[in-house]
Amino acid sequence: MTDRTRAHVYVSGKVQGVYFRATTREEAREQGVDGWVRNLDDGRVEAVFEGPEEDVESLIEFCHGGSKAARVDDVEVSYEEPQGEDGFRVRW
């Protein structure tokens, strides 16, 4: 089995109300990455990506652009121990 990596990501800029969560979910599912994404009250988007390192890194790179309507100002990433996420969902 491939080693799994877990990244905890915070994206700031114009990232709410621009389909950022939906496109992140689609991208994650296409890549086979597990985890979740949600809006935060401070205007940022928070996400957790868990899967093979190469796929997780690709999703982090995606976050630097996001959806077509988004304007990303910053992406903060921290790495954690995998926790066994299964599937990818939008959290509310």
Which of the residues 4, 6, 21, 44 is marked catalytic?
A: 21
Q: pLDDT tens track of the chain, all 92 residues? A: 458 999 999 999 999 999 999 999 999 999 999 999 999 999 999 999 999 999 999 999 999 999 999 999 999 999 999 999 999 999 98
Between CA 12 and CA 23 the distance in angstroms is 16
Between CA 75 and CA 67 the distance in angstroms is 14
Between CA 57 and CA 3 the distance in angstroms is 13
Instruction: Please state which of the four CATH numbers 1.10.510.10, 3.40.50.1220, 3.30.70.100, 4.10.520.10 is assigned to the domain occupying 4-83.
Output: 3.30.70.100
Which of the residues 39, 71, 89, 91 is marked catalytic?
A: 39
pLDDT of residue 1: 46
Domain ranges of the chain: 4-83
- The strand ranges marked E within 1-92 are 4-14, 34-39, 45-52, 71-80, 88-90
Between CA 73 and CA 10 the distance in angstroms is 11
* pTM of the model as a whole: 0.95
39 is catalytic: yes
